[in-house]
């Protein structure tokens, strides 16, 4: 854990491909010191059909799912660092955002825990 799922409009991939986005999100998440590097997971979901309000403006939204236990300040710093990097990579994209969601350690389960 954590998981960073990047939803974006297909057109943003004309500037940087999925591998590049994955790599940069991974680097930023690791640099925060909040996670073990080997646990960081990043995926990109490009969309060809979408709307942003009444327009077809491009977008990037990162859904970050992390284990509970980080401070609000740590989560805010993570958010700012990722959005700052994405804005630098995609200055032409008007809508760039991230949300950080926590999940409970008590209810989390994966294959290695069985």
| pLDDT (tens digit per residue) in 11-42 | 999 999 999 999 999 999 999 999 999 999 99
Sketch out the chain's domains with CATH numbers: 3-113 (3.30.429.10)
At residue 4 the predicted structure's pLDDT band, cuts being 50, 70 and 90, is very high
Q: What is the pLDDT of residue 98?
A: 98
> Quick check: 46 pLDDT over 90?
yes
Angle at Cα 19 formed by Cα 81 and Cα 17, nearest 5°?
Answer: 90
Classify residue 59 by burial, with Cβ atoms within 10 Å: 0-12, 13-18, 19+.
buried
Residue 68: strand, helix, or coil: coil
Euclidean distance between CA atoms 82 and 24, whole angstroms:
9
Q: What is the pLDDT of residue 69?
A: 94
Residue 64, Cα to own-chain centre: how many angstroms?
5
């Amino acid at each position: 854990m954590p998981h960073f799922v990047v939803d974006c409009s297909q057109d943003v991939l004309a500037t940087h491909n999925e591998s590049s986005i994955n790599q940069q999100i991974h680097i930023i998440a690791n640099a925060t010191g909040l996670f073990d590097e080997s646990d960081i997971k990043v995926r990109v979901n490009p969309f060809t059909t979408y709307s942003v309000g009444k327009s077809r403006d491009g977008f990037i939204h990162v859904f970050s799912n992390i284990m509970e236990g980080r401070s609000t300040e740590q989560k805010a710093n993570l958010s700012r660092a990722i959005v700052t990097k994405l804005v630098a990579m995609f200055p032409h994209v008007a809508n760039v955002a991230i949300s950080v969601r926590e999940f409970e350690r008590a209810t989390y389960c994966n294959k290695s825990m069985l």
